[in-house]
Amino acid sequence: MEKLLIEGGHPLEGTVQISGAKNSAVALIPAAILADSPVTIDNLPNISDVETLAELLEEIGGTTNLEDDTLVIHPENMFAMPLPNGRVKKLRASYYMMGAMLGKFKKAVIGLPGGCNLGPRPIDQHIKGFEALGAKVTNEQGAVYLQADELVGARIYLDVVSVGATINIMLAAVKAKGKTIIENAAKEPEIIDVATLLSNMGANIKGAGTNVIRITGVDELHGCRHSIIPDRIETGTFMILGAAMGQSVLVDNVIPDHVESLTAKLREMGIMVDVADDQILVRSSENLKSVDVKTLVYPGFPTDLQQPFTSLLTQADGVSMVTDTIYNARFKHIDELRRMGANIKVEGRSALVNGGTPLQGAKVRASDLRAGASLVVAGLMANGVTEITGVEHIDRGYGGLENKLKGLGAKIWREALTEKELTEIKNS
Ligand SMILES: CC(=O)N[C@H]1[C@@H](OP(=O)(O)OP(=O)(O)OC[C@H]2O[C@@H](n3ccc(=O)[nH]c3=O)[C@H](O)[C@@H]2O)O[C@H](CO)[C@@H](O)[C@@H]1O
Ligand SMILES: C=C(OP(=O)(O)O)C(=O)O
């Protein structure tokens, strides 16, 4: 196990290339199960979630070949191998194995997923969708058992707007008999990306990116080649870093529309944000203004940027209120920011950030992926050295983070954990 060390206070300058989107990649890889010939996915991020999913595909008899940022998936010999334990617990997106395997084999056994601990993350809407398509679903000893004689299209209204449920139902429905209509569907760009891949495989999907998705089932899906959209959360993280420490940070290979809510908030804070076709230039400012922010479903402010954005707000003048309407317990980073000198109070779903307190380097722990991002932002702004453990969470979603930051002039490096630190973590 490793830790990240950051010597704070160095300005950032230069260009950073954004990788393919994690939350697309982790759905596109399971989607390939549905094809009957090879699927090639380009622009993959170099993250552990991608590795874990490729390994899961191998467990069910597939072969995968990862070279640079391209993954070739051979689904021809896959079978309905039960996956009740093991790797499925390492990430959230293993839930897509349910929809994809149900769609392909009409049965699946998948352990309940892992992923970031953000408070309760039920999958009742996924199950509701599978059942509406005709599957019998039971939950036994921490694994979900799915079985259908045949899948038949249905009208499914999501009680909660859910990215995972929308994609999972699409995966299960593309080969079902007849028409499926998903109402109150999520509209995130990653959903359009998955629908694009499935359509290129031969699926018939209309309305992805709106709140009603119509799918007409087809008998066969074939292989194809697909390039992943840029990661809007990595884009936003580097924009926040630019706002925090950037003399001038050019975030390259992005889709600016996907981060409009963040661009607007940064401008409200007094940050200069220049938007071009596929690049965003961010320059910090001496006087950051406090702002209130509320996370919402897309195109609202993304919950996945709430934590890194909170770190930036610690340096704004005045009090900012951060409200997470998606995950009410996504505040595990706050205690760690307090260790670094931040003045933040959590009240219910909101964090009140009393800005303008200088941050000091400290030993902190990333409890989840974006908590890790928030501590990296804080560490770069702080005086002295910050040591971040829990790096395995950061590695689930940010590929080559140190190299990208070093390229901008940051002083950041990795070290192996000492025996004492390993024991402390085990006992905590
Ligand atoms: C792998 C992946 O793509 N992860 C993203 C996905 O997670 P994930 O797909 O898990 O998130 P959802 O969009 O499903 O969750 C949104 C809200 O709906 C609730 N809910 C969800 C499903 C369900 O069956 N029942 C239910 O009540 C959740 O508890 C949460 O409060 O979208 C989240 C919200 O943008 C992001 O933070 C995650 O980065
Ligand atoms: C919450 C996240 O990831 P996951 O859903 O994979 O846990 C995230 O990417 O911020």
| Residue 169: pLDDT band with limits 50, 70, 90 | very high
Query: What tens digit of pLDDT does each residue of 299-324 get?
Result: 999 999 999 999 999 999 999 999 99
Cβ neighbour number for residue 300 with a 10 Å cutoff: 14
For the beta sheet containing 363-365, the strands, ordered from the edge strand earlier in sequence to the opposite edge, are: 363-365, 385-389, 2-7, 411-416
Task: Give me the domains of the chain, ranges plus CATH numbers.
Answer: 2-19+230-427 (3.65.10.10), 22-227 (3.65.10.10)
**CB–CB of 410/11 below 8 Å?**
no
- In this prediction, residue 421 carries a pLDDT of 85
| Residue 304 annotated as binding site | yes
Question: In sequence order, what DSSP letters do the residues of 351-397 get, joined into one string?
Answer: EEEE--PPPB--EEE--SHHHHHHHHHHHHHSBSEEEEE-HHHHHTT
For the CA of 160, the nearest atom of ligand 1: 18
State in Å: Cα 46 to ligand 2 middle. 15
- For the segment 125-143, the average pLDDT, to the nearest whole number, is 96
Label each residue of 6-61 as H, E or C.
Answer: EECCCCEEEEEECCECHHHHHHHHHHHHHCCCCEEEECCCCCHHHHHHHHHHHHCC
Sign of CA dihedral 129, 131, 136, 141: positive
Which residue has a Cα nearest atom 1 of ligand 2?
Answer: 116
Three-state DSSP state, 139: strand
| Residue 22 annotated as binding site | yes
**CB–CB of 258/279 below 8 Å?**
no
Ligand 1 pocket test: which of 160, 306, 349, 398 has the largest number of ligand atoms within 8 Å of its C-beta? 160
Following CA atoms 257, 262, 267, 273 in sequence, which dihedral angle do they give, to the nearest 10 degrees? Answer: -50
Distance CA 260, CA 298 (A): 10
Place of tokens 């290129």: 200
| Selected catalytic residue, list 71, 93, 116, 391 | 116
| Residue 272: pLDDT band with limits 50, 70, 90 | very high
State in Å: Cα 92 to ligand 1 middle. 9
Whether 224 is catalytic is no
Average pLDDT, the chain: 96
Which residue has a Cα nearest atom 10 of ligand 2?
Answer: 304
Question: Whole-model pTM above 0.90?
Answer: yes
For the CA of 121, the nearest atom of ligand 1: 29
| Residue 229 annotated as binding site | no
Distance CA 45, CA 289 (A): 34
Environment class of 133 (CB within 10 Å of its CB; exposed 0-12, middle 13-18, buried 19+): buried
Query: What tens digit of pLDDT does each residue of 207-218 get?
Result: 999 999 999 999
**CB–CB of 353/344 below 8 Å?**
yes
The share of the chain scoring above pLDDT 70, in percent, equals 100
Query: What tens digit of pLDDT does each residue of 375-416 get?
Result: 999 999 999 999 999 999 999 999 999 999 999 999 999 999
| Residue 45: pLDDT band with limits 50, 70, 90 | very high
Distance CA 354, CA 319 (A): 5
**In whole angstroms, how large is the CA radius of gyration of the chain?**
21
- For the segment 278-292, the average pLDDT, to the nearest whole number, is 96
Whether pLDDT at 422 is above 90: no
Whether pLDDT at 425 is above 90: no
For the stretch 76-91, what's the b/e string if a residue is b when 16 or more beta carbons lie within 10 angstroms of its beta carbon? eebebeebbeebbbbb
Environment class of 46 (CB within 10 Å of its CB; exposed 0-12, middle 13-18, buried 19+): middle
Distance CA 145, CA 58 (A): 20
| Residue 427: pLDDT band with limits 50, 70, 90 | confident
Question: In sequence order, what DSSP letters do the residues of 273-307 get, joined into one string?
Answer: EEE-SSEEEEE--SSPBP--EEE-STTSB-HHHHH
Ligand 1 pocket by Cβ (under 6 Å): 23, 26, 92-93, 120-126, 160, 162-165, 186, 303-304, 326-327
- For the segment 202-206, the average pLDDT, to the nearest whole number, is 98
Closest CA to 39 of 87, 104, 102: 104
| Residue 123 annotated as binding site | yes
Whether pLDDT at 19 is above 90: yes
Which residue has a Cα nearest atom 16 of ligand 1?
Answer: 162
